[in-house]
Chain A
Amino acid sequence: MVSSHRKEPNYLAVFWWLVGLTIVEVGVIYLPLAKVVINILLVGFALSKVTLVAMYFMHLRFEPVTLSVIALIPLLLCVILVLALLPDHVAVRHKIAPTPHKSVIVR
């Protein structure tokens, strides 16, 4: 499961990438861009940083594929959870009034 004699990754390069992405992330929120564009950029940068930490610091890049599959399970479940909550968000955003039930309609 573990190969302790593998070549050591360049941790300092990963560090500088993480610092650089964090600086860009903070800078992005002050850019005169549409909110949705800023949010997409922020999520993209965050996922890039998370991938770097998982691949190099947590050594997933050098581990068997099974371990990466195990690590991806929470991400998959979170996506399902967000998708399940999405209709509710849309309903609240558009202020959809609940349809009155037939039995309570008074003529």
Chain B
Amino acid sequence: MKAAVEPTESPLIPESSGKLGMWIFLVGDAMTFGGLLAGYGALRYGSADWPVPSEVLGIPLTAVMTFILICSSVTMVKGLAAIRRGNHRRMRNFLLLTVLGGLLFLGLQALEWTELIHRGLTLTGNPFGSTLFGTTFFVLTGFHGAHVTGGAIYLSCIVILGVRGRFSGENHNQVEIAGLYWHFVDLVWILLFTFVYLV
């Protein structure tokens, strides 16, 4: 017997509950970043000697870092597309490239931090103006960097599971959930790049 009312959305099944769980986690995480960014805005516009970020921070280097994260998002979706077609080898290679992109991003961030610290910018000191500039910069980029580190570890675990043959064309939910996390990290960086470095 046909149902009188067709559901407009497919029901929540065990395969999709993990994805919903990740989305709820990401919503919470987004609110944390949102709070930090709103706090950054409040401190910045309440300060009379806030330096112009593009004159203090290295825009070309961070533009390259942005490019790397965008590339890693593409390799992530390509990896997911590969396992959807049942291609394990291609998935593993694309996920390894994604992890490599994350590590490269972290390496460049370490380089940027080292350079800025050598120029006197620290959590509690800033020779270019307001001390809070250094505090907010390191807290925001550091919190994001911690997410990239977590994502690289998470994706490495997914690669190991993939090598052990855990995933297939029909069973790739965990890869998709890990991908959601990775794209979120990319999405947050897009906002940080704009608000911390460019505006």
Q: List A residues at the B interface (Cβ < 8 Å).
A: 1-4, 8, 11-12, 14-15, 18-19, 22-23, 25-26, 28-29, 39, 42-43, 45-46, 49-50, 53-54, 56-58, 64-67, 70-71, 73-75, 77-78, 81-82, 85, 88-89, 92-93
B120 within 8 A of A: no
Question: Is there a chain A Cβ closer than 8 Å to B130's Cβ?
Answer: no
Contact between A57 and B186 (Cβ–Cβ < 8 Å)? yes
Main secondary structure of the interface of B (DSSP, over half): helix
Contact B34 A77 (CB under 8 A): yes
Query: Separation in Å of the B69 CB from the closest CB of chain A?
Result: 10
Q: Which segment of B59-67, B107-115, B158-166 sits at the interface?
A: B59-67
Taking CB atoms, residues of chain A closer than 8 Å to B190 are 46, 49-50, 53
Count, chain B residues at interface, CB 8 A: 55
Instruction: Confirm or deny: B127 has a beta carbon within 8 angstroms of a beta carbon on chain A.
Output: no
Main secondary structure of the interface of A (DSSP, over half): helix
Question: Does B97 sit at the interface, judged by CB under 8 A?
Answer: no
- Contact status A22-B66, CB under 8 Å: yes
Residue of A1, A43, A89 touching B20 (CB-CB under 8 A) = A1
Contact B187 A50 (CB under 8 A): yes
A19: contacting residue among B10, B67, B76, CB under 8 A: B67
For chain B, residues 9 to 53, give those with C-beta under 8 angstroms from any C-beta of chain A.
9-13, 15-16, 19-20, 23-24, 26-27, 30-31, 34-35, 37-38, 41-42, 45-46
Inter-subunit contact B42/A53 (CB<8 Å): no
Q: Would A1 and B30 count as touching, CB distance under 8 A?
A: no
B140 at the interface (CB under 8 A from A): no
Q: A26-B198, A57-B76 are in contact. Are A74 and B34 (CB under 8 A)?
A: yes
The answer to whether B183 touches A11, judged by C-beta atoms less than 8 angstroms apart, is: no
Contacts of B63 in A (CB 8 A): 22-23, 26
Is B73 part of the binding interface, using a Cβ–Cβ cutoff of 8 Å?
A: yes
Q: In whole Å, how far is A16's beta carbon from the nearest beta carbon of chain B?
A: 10
Interface centre among A56, A58, A89 (most CB of B within 10 A): A58
Q: A55 → chain B, closest Cβ, in Å?
A: 11
Q: List 18 A-B contacts (CB under 8 A).
A: A1-B13, A2-B10, A19-B67, A22-B67, A25-B194, A26-B59, A39-B199, A42-B199, A46-B190, A49-B190, A50-B191, A53-B187, A58-B183, A67-B20, A78-B37, A81-B35, A89-B42, A89-B45
